[in-house]
Structure 1
């Protein structure tokens, strides 16, 4: 790909704020000021100031943790990743089926189906990932099942207890990953990287389809999260995360005790992980891989989306933790 082509791919699908940040970080001489600004923004004193409210709310709200949730927090602290199922995490036998139904309704939209048929998303650098919601200027309304799951007391308590402050729901969506043919170009998520949204980033994935090794499962290096045993290996650089030299990292993973786990499983499986740790997605070469994703950050998290509630769920019915998570 030519250099202009690389730049077009890099900028495609970005919001105005992301474009400005990209210029401030990547384009000299703006990058001199931009990189200094973000280093200061995520320095310990500034980070604590930005998250004053989040810590106050966390201290004022009971954090109900069931035994399975305690296990999740312990796994995140130790390994940076926890795997379970929707039913086991929230003790609601019907919720996964409602999530799956509502996700399919979102994916049934005309524009979404056109992208799936064309096998291409022209508005995203991740060309084979079709997002049902995406980043919109207005506040898209979330289905009630999404609100019940992603703002569930157990989910919010796990993420908040792990971070030590009350979390925000930074982003949620349905991702339809189109199967890729031989020779088609890769996307950035296929390479080992650390995410950029915050110092520590909790991502929650729900498998809406069975996922096997041919479908590009999510892969994670255990104990590579910030503060973990391997957190020092190619640490993130704010505000761009980190894409280390791939061959060198692959040699480390295969030639040293760096422990990676490939997350396959049946529909209904979940992954909770801190994507400040080293991880990568993959390309499916057989069948579509459809997942729900939720991203939780501190108040300092970047690129946060704003969401509206469905009419069937009044704002006053939300818990204090859920209201805070929705920036409301």
Structure 2
């Protein structure tokens, strides 16, 4: 499908999605699905249960790779450091560019990074948050450039892909206030600000945000390498604060339910054939998270 037809298709789907009857029906079936799946939710260990409680209350929980207890974490951090070195060698970028992503070929080369996001213990935590079977939208391996540009995801926004969106962010280098921490506004304040701004979708500049709230309410997620941030990005205003001193290196893992509110929002950077190669040794349950 060419780009023009794809844009037309997306415009039509958005118009349908916003229609009152469509919204009513979608919400009815969503609530019905939640009730049906409630008894199928997997049991969580105490530490993951506590993380879930914090996410539901605050919108964000902060932990570390070690505390999270995923068995392959040491392997992926070693691989991530190798990939980080390769991406850091890239100096031929546009001065108006604020982020460099690992290529699909690099993700396939370091496939253990992609596969970490399909660890069954991790999927169990995410399924309990969503209340529904998990759709793994894939990953972004990012180098955020220290150029102080305020564009794209460095502006305040709320993710719209689904009713609930969970992102897991792993810091690959130490992140302080001056090199691009993930920032958010707590859940209880976000709803008030949404009303003040009459926010529906899109990006909000920081000077506009400070017109309706104080920057003192901003929460900066700082931490050393291996810090893990688990964020309900569909319920909080959030952004990546522009780095000042040094580049920030992160991995973003994206998840929604399989009852995708807007199915045209798929985020995977990998081709279908690549996903088949990566999934060859996965369980059927894990595969369904990719090919939903």
Indicate the TM-score class for this superposition, using the shorter chain for normalisation. 0.7 to 0.9
Distance in 2 (alpha carbons) for counterparts of 1:223 and 1:167: 23
Runs of 4+ in structure 1 over 3 Å off: 19-25, 47-56, 58-62, 104-109, 139-142, 228-237, 244-248
Distance in 1 (alpha carbons) for counterparts of 2:213 and 2:284: 43
Paired position in structure 2 for 1:303 = 266
Distance in 2 (alpha carbons) for counterparts of 1:67 and 1:202: 20
Structure 2 spans left out of the alignment, 5+ residues: none
Give the alignment partner of residue 283 of structure 2, picking from 311, 318, 323.
318
Paired position in structure 2 for 1:71 = 50
Give the alignment partner of residue 158 of structure 1, picking from 103, 125, 148.
125
Q: TM-score, normalised by structure 1?
A: 0.71
Q: CA deviation at 1:214?
A: 1.0
Structure 1 spans left out of the alignment, 5+ residues: 1-14, 26-30
Structure 1 position 222 matched with structure 2 position 186: yes
Q: Is the 8 A contact 2:70 2:119 kept in 1?
A: no
Q: Is the 8 A contact 1:75 1:81 kept in 2?
A: yes
Give the alignment partner of residue 94 of structure 2, picking from 117, 120, 126.
120
Give the alignment partner of residue 137 of structure 2, picking from 170, 184, 190.
170
Count of residues paired in the alignment: 281
Structure 1 position 261 matched with structure 2 position 219: yes
Structure 1 position 98 matched with structure 2 position 58: no
Q: Is the 8 A contact 2:136 2:289 kept in 1?
A: yes
Cα distance, 1:314–1:248 mapped onto 2, change above 3 Å: closer
Cα distance, 1:208–1:46 mapped onto 2, change above 3 Å: same
Q: Is the 8 A contact 1:253 1:259 kept in 2?
A: yes
Cα distance, 1:127–1:225 mapped onto 2, change above 3 Å: farther
Cα distance, 1:24–1:215 mapped onto 2, change above 3 Å: same
Stretch deviating more after TM superposition (185-194 or 72-81): 185-194
Q: CA deviation at 1:224?
A: 5.0
Give the alignment partner of residue 229 of structure 2, picking from 271, 274, 279.
271
Alignment of 1:178-189 (within 5 A): 178-180=145-147, 185-189=149-153
Deviations 1:174-224 (A, max 9, x none): 11112216xxx4322121111232222111000111101110211011115
Deviations 1:25-62 (A, max 9, x none): 7xxxxx6x554212149724235658988986x55755
Q: Is the 8 A contact 1:223 1:230 kept in 2?
A: no
